[in-house]
């Protein structure tokens, strides 16, 4: 086992450069745990400003402020980012020449969707950890960035719908008559879907939900929604890590046919169905949109991966047959204060899992969390799934054991 640096190890946090990205990888409240572990923290000036964290707040917690971005990359042993190169391919390209060989980078890289970006980082000799690949095990829950961001996304999706819908959500008994509650349908009962259900119920909507995984029925009911039963043979619809897995097109066709009635009866549909590393399945067809009442809303949380609605346009709000379709992307960034707070807690916990008592970085390949998130090392793409996507041969098992 090799140590990457002598203490104090320097953690660098550059400002995010993806258009519209307001989050920051570390917040001041996360610094005490890192400094206690013997780490030094260097923040690019202004990195936390848009999230509500000024430079002075970082300095009060012991961080140093770098006036120039290049200083962060040239000084830091380890870089923490929200969006790594894979999830920021255009603006992030300017950082490639700033990376140093053996520099460690932890962040969202989406290597299953953008394996070539991982290959480019490997070419720079960078050691990359992708948070999307965190194994879904109990010990990793406190590091689970995807769940944290999905919580915010599900919450904000309902607020977007409520703001756009020409109706009020709760039932009201007034002198002018009774106002019926909004009928809201959630497709996909993962973290985002469950949070959307809970938020919509708090606002007074009548909520139904569907998921291809029958096992989530009790979770749906526990947050106040009715689980929609579709007589479909899903078989083993749950993939590795508890995510829904991709089904064949015949299954999706039958699913759409049976779901059409529920969609038509709903004032709001929030779709969250996504398959890691794959295009989102189309669950709401153009014909289904046409069957919805004028003024209805679809919030498509899978827009960035192609969308669950056939008419979704990523990053845009469009109107089709008097139905508003919101193809929102990067929704967590619209709540940057708490999104950054949650992200920072997750990434700091992951980092501390790889820091020794002496404040040194260590790679324990016997640790499932380390092994599962490591994408590149020593000029090579080392993650088996990413290598397969690149058409690279499997590495010898001996090359994976010791670092």
Active site residue 55: no
* Catalytic entry in 144, 211, 267, 300: 144
* Catalytic entry in 23, 81, 95, 147: 147
Between helix 191-202 and helix 145-164 the angle, nearest 10°, is 40
> How far, in Å, CA of 131 to CA of 184, rounded?
32
Contact 237, 213 (CB under 8 A): yes
Classify residue 294 by burial, with Cβ atoms within 10 Å: 0-12, 13-18, 19+.
Answer: exposed
For residue 125, CA distances in Å to 72, 102, 122, 355, 379 come to 17, 6, 5, 21, 4
Active site residue 144: yes
* Catalytic entry in 74, 201, 202, 243: 243
Cis peptide bond prior to 396, omega within 30° of 0: no
What is the sign, positive or negative, of the torsion defined by CA atoms of 44, 380, 373, 220?
A: positive
* Catalytic entry in 49, 136, 201, 254: 136
* Catalytic entry in 68, 93, 139, 141: 141
Active site residue 377: no
3-class secondary structure per residue, 240-283 = HHHCECCCCHHHHHHHHHHHHHHHHCCCEEEECCCCCCCCCCCC
Contact 213, 232 (CB under 8 A): no
Contact 273, 302 (CB under 8 A): yes
Q: Which helix (H) or strand (E) holds 217?
A: helix 217-222
Q: Which helix (H) or strand (E) holds 337?
A: helix 336-352
Instruction: Give the number of other CB atoms < 10 A from CB of residue 124.
Output: 19
Joined tokens for residue 347: 């990434």
HSE of 368 in the Cβ direction (CA atoms, 13 Å)?
8
Between helix 336-352 and helix 145-164 the angle, nearest 10°, is 170
Contact 269, 324 (CB under 8 A): no
Active site residue 367: no
Q: How many helices (H) and strands (E) does the chain have?
A: 13, 17
Active site residue 385: no
> How far, in Å, CA of 61 to CA of 102, rounded?
28
Any idea which residues carry the catalytic annotation?
136, 141, 144, 147, 243
């Amino acid at each position: 086992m090799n140590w990457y640096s002598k203490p104090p190890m320097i953690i660098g946090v550059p400002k995010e450069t993806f258009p519209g990205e307001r989050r920051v990888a570390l917040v001041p409240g996360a610094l005490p745990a890192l400094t206690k572990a013997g780490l030094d923290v260097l923040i690019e000036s202004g990195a936390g400003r848009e999230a509500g964290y000024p430079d002075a707040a970082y300095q009060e917690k012991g961080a140093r402020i770098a006036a120039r971005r290049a200083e962060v990359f040239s000084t830091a042993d380890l870089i923490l980012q929200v969006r790594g190169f894979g999830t920021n391919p255009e603006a992030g390209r300017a950082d490639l020449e700033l990376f140093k060989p053996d520099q460690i980078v932890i962040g969202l890289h989406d290597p299953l969707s953008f394996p070539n970006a991982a290959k480019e980082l490997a070419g720079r000799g960078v050691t990359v950890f992708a948070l999307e690949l965190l194994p879904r095990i109990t010990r990793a829950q406190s590091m689970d960035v995807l769940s944290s961001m999905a919580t915010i996304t599900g919450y904000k999706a309902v607020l977007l719908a409520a703001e756009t819908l020409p109706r009020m959500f709760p039932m009201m008994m007034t002198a002018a008559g009774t106002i019926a509650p909004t009928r809201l349908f959630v497709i996909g009962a993962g973290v985002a879907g469950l949070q959307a259900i809970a938020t919509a119920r708090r606002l007074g909507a009548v909520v139904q939900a569907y998921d291809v995984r029958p096992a989530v029925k009790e979770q749906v009911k526990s947050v106040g929604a009715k689980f929609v039963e579709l007589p479909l043979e899903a078989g083993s619809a749950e993939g590795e890590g508890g995510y829904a897995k991709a089904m064949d097109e015949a299954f999706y066709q039958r699913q759409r046919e049976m779901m059409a009635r529920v969609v038509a009866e709903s004032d709001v549909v929030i779709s969250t169905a996504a398959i890691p590393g794959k295009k989102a399945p189309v669950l709401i067809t153009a014909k289904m949109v046409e069957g919805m009442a004028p003024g209805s809303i679809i919030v498509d949380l899978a827009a960035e991966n192609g969308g669950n609605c056939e008419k979704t346009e990523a990053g845009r709000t469009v109107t089709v047959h008097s139905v508003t379709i919101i193809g929102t992307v990067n929704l967590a960034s619209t709540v940057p204060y708490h999104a950054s707070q949650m992200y920072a807690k997750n990434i700091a916990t992951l980092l501390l899992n790889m820091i020794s008592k002496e404040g040194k970085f260590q790679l324990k390949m016997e640790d499932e969390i380390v092994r599962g998130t490591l994408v590149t090392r020593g000029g090579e793409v080392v993650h088996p799934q990413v290598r397969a996507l690149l058409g690279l041969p499997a590495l010898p098992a001996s090359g994976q054991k010791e670092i």
